Amino acid sequence: MSISALLPLLLLGVVVVGAQQEKTVCAGINGIPGQPGAPGQHGTPGAPERDGRDGLPGKLGPLGQPGRAGTPGVPGEQGERGEKGERGESGVGPRTAFSAKVGTYTPAAGSPVTFNVIITNSQGHYNPGTGKFTCAHPGIYYFTLYAHPGEKHLVVMIMKNGEVVSKVTGINYNAISGSVVLSLKAGNEVWLEMEAPYINFHIDAHRDAVFSGYILYS
């Protein structure tokens, strides 16, 4: 047989032998694991972004239950006694009152009638020399007069600081009386005068002329 005819057979034998040798190769032992690699370097920080838009407010939550009352604390010790305070004002308001009558004389028109016989004048706010009452405590006052005319007309005027407040008139020995309530400031004056020509003032052992006044309230 020629060499060219044997060549394919020889190649086939090589392939078969190689295949059988491959089947008989033993598996190798696993290698030792490698050591971990070194950590990598940090990356470059990213560029900042824009602020986000504000969100809508959330809904109001339900009202919580009221808490329980706390336990009363222990009473503290009694403090020291304080200093005595100043004396307070009296509950009684200012006092002023007077009453006076006329002695035997003939008053003149245009000047205060001098009630020069003191009945009551504890505070001294009425002056029997001038016939004038001077207000010392601002307030509301009550004044009264009582007199007798002669046979002819008599007109008595209640005066306040030179102004006529009220007039009382009478005739023929009939008693006359009058009263008035005035609001006075400190220093105000009140007195009685007779109006000309009606100055028929009559006083005797049985007839008095009396002028009185007192404070109602401050």
The 10s digit of each residue's pLDDT in 92-133 is 778 999 999 998 777 788 889 999 999 999 999 999 999 999
* Domain assignment of residue 73, yes or no: no
Full domain range(s) for residue 134: 97-217
pLDDT at residue 125 in the model: 97
CATH, residue 121: 2.60.120.40
Q: Tell me, yes or no, whether 76 lies in a domain.
A: no
Could you give the number of structural domains in the chain? 1
Instruction: Say what the pLDDT of residue 68 is.
Output: 84
Q: Is residue 108 part of a domain?
A: yes
pLDDT at 45: 77
Of the candidates 197, 3, 192, 163, which has an alpha carbon nearest to the alpha carbon of residue 100? 192
Q: What is the pLDDT of residue 74?
A: 85
Give residue 107's pLDDT.
79
Q: Decide: residue 15, CB within 10 A, 0-12 exposed, 13-18 middle, 19+ buried.
A: exposed
Q: Which residues does the chain have with pLDDT short of 50?
A: 14-19, 22-25
